[in-house]
Amino acid sequence: MVRFRSFSLTAFLLTLFAANISAQQKKPLRFTDAHTLTITGKAWDSEPFYHRLDTARYAALSGTLKRLATHSAGLAISFKTNSSTISAKWQTSPKRPSDNMTGIAYEGLDLYILQDARWQYAGVARPSTHDISETTIVENMADGEKTCLLFLPTYDEILCLEIGIDAEASIVPNTNPFRKNILIYGSSIVQGASASRPGLAYPAKLSRQTGYHFINMGFSGNAKMETAVADMIAPLPMDAFILDCVPNPSAEEVLERTANMVNTIRRYHPNVPIIAIQSVAREKGNFDQHIARRIKLKDQYFRQEIEKLQKDDDNLYLIEAEGLLGDDQEGTADGIHPNDLGFERMLQKIRPTILEIFAKYGI
């Protein structure tokens, strides 16, 4: 009810805003509430529609984690249309992008269209300086039906979203184009910092490249393997888990919490593969000896804990940090968060290993 009321107000504001810029529009568009289409990237079919999780169900979760779960990282709207133009009106929270991300990645939209059996980039929706934005994503497209996937902001909450098409065109929900469910739990790096577009966050890239449904459970600065998070994640209906969660916890927390994280998942999923990844965030320690020591210690503790668990667990794997970002230290935006070059290098290393493991399990 609250959601509906808030959406109506938003719709009213959007109408005013749209009226204001209608003079610029080349031809009339028809807008469809994205609620009527399919959303992908969610662990399960929960409300609110644009939140990654219904955090009201998880009383033990901290307020910060609940807020981060409202960010639409990894979510995408799946639809088909024969329109020559695709446009968007959307509203996000009043937050402004952080200095290590683009506004497009933080609170914009990123469209891909299936072509020659590949998801091809079609256009971004660049956010305005206000919280309500309206823009053309792509226009002048050839005739014919397009199978579309519109990735939502990685670091903001979508309050409402409408997709615009040519007035005479049609738009219909598509099925989720990705198969199986693989949860990636991690830090800001999983959530999407510092990819330049929402669809270049690494779980989203992995989904498009492999066809698997990777679920983005990145919680910026807060992936500390807390018991409440382990309890939340473990029962989810997953075919595999990826734990990329060394960057945020302290070395002591890595030592104390890794076993509980893995064991909690194991209680619900005795035999699914769990793939643990050491910390990708290391360039800040290139000259800073304290940070270098801290990262090394965390990776060492993580390996030690995983190796202990592996003695009784044949379905637990470790991917080492070595070479994840290449060797020229040009793979991050700020010494911590991979840029698009860093993410591509990371995927070149982890993708073959992940696919090999999945093949072994018939996933």
The distance of closest approach from Cβ of residue 108 to its own copies in the complex, given in angstroms and rounded to an integer, is 7
Q: Are 233 and 185 in contact (CB under 8 A)?
A: yes
The distance of closest approach from Cβ of residue 123 to its own copies in the complex, given in angstroms and rounded to an integer, is 6
The number of CA neighbours under 13 Å toward the Cβ of 304 is 12
Nearest in space to 244 (alpha carbons), one of 201, 189, 314: 189
The distance of closest approach from Cβ of residue 291 to its own copies in the complex, given in angstroms and rounded to an integer, is 7
Choice from 5, 26, 290, 311 touching its own copies (CB under 8 A): 290
Which H or E run includes 261? helix 251-268
The distance of closest approach from Cβ of residue 225 to its own copies in the complex, given in angstroms and rounded to an integer, is 27
- The residues facing 124 across adjacent strands are 110
Q: Are 337 and 282 in contact (CB under 8 A)?
A: no
> Is residue 297 a contact residue for its own copies (CB under 8 A)?
no
Stretch that binds its own copies, among 4-12, 45-53, 132-140, 214-222 (CB under 8 A): 132-140
Q: Are 338 and 331 in contact (CB under 8 A)?
A: yes
- Closer Cβ to its own copies, 123 or 203, answer by number: 123
> Is residue 142 a contact residue for its own copies (CB under 8 A)?
yes
Distance between CA atoms of residues 190 and 222, nearest Å: 11
Query: Alpha-carbon torsion 232, 235, 239, 240, what sign?
Result: positive
- Closer Cβ to its own copies, 105 or 161, answer by number: 105
Structure tokens that stand for 11 in this block? 């719709």
Stretch that binds its own copies, among 8-16, 102-110, 227-235, 269-277 (CB under 8 A): 102-110
Q: Are 137 and 88 in contact (CB under 8 A)?
A: yes
> Is residue 304 a contact residue for its own copies (CB under 8 A)?
no
Choice from 25, 62, 70, 98 touching its own copies (CB under 8 A): 98
Choice from 6, 64, 286, 348 touching its own copies (CB under 8 A): 286
> Is residue 48 a contact residue for its own copies (CB under 8 A)?
no
Structure tokens that stand for 280 in this block? 């990708």
> Is residue 126 a contact residue for its own copies (CB under 8 A)?
yes
Choice from 45, 47, 99, 314 touching its own copies (CB under 8 A): 99
> Is residue 344 a contact residue for its own copies (CB under 8 A)?
yes
Q: Are 194 and 338 in contact (CB under 8 A)?
A: yes
3-state secondary structure of 204: helix
The distance of closest approach from Cβ of residue 328 to its own copies in the complex, given in angstroms and rounded to an integer, is 8
Q: Are 108 and 127 in contact (CB under 8 A)?
A: yes
Using alpha carbons only, give the angle 59, 61, 63 rounded to the nearest 5 degrees.
105
The distance of closest approach from Cβ of residue 2 to its own copies in the complex, given in angstroms and rounded to an integer, is 30
Choice from 75, 81, 89, 123 touching its own copies (CB under 8 A): 123
Residue in this structure with the two tokens 């290993």, named with its chain if needed: 353
Stretch that binds its own copies, among 4-12, 141-149, 167-175, 222-230 (CB under 8 A): 141-149
Count of chain residues binding its own copies (CB under 8 A) = 53
- Closer Cβ to its own copies, 48 or 335, answer by number: 335
Q: Footprint of its own copies on residues 196-215 (CB under 8 A)?
A: 196-197, 200, 205
Distance between CA atoms of residues 334 and 338, nearest Å: 8
Q: What is the DSSP letter of 338?
A: B
Distance between CA atoms of residues 336 and 348, nearest Å: 19
The distance of closest approach from Cβ of residue 297 to its own copies in the complex, given in angstroms and rounded to an integer, is 15
Distance between CA atoms of residues 228 and 226, nearest Å: 5
- Closer Cβ to its own copies, 119 or 358, answer by number: 119
Distance between CA atoms of residues 76 and 50, nearest Å: 9
Stretch that binds its own copies, among 3-11, 21-29, 57-65, 99-107 (CB under 8 A): 99-107
Distance between CA atoms of residues 181 and 187, nearest Å: 19
> Is residue 349 a contact residue for its own copies (CB under 8 A)?
no
Instruction: By CB under 8 A, name the binding residues for its own copies.
Output: 96-104, 108, 113, 118, 120-124, 126-127, 129, 138-142, 146, 194, 196-197, 200, 205, 283-284, 286-291, 328-335, 339-344
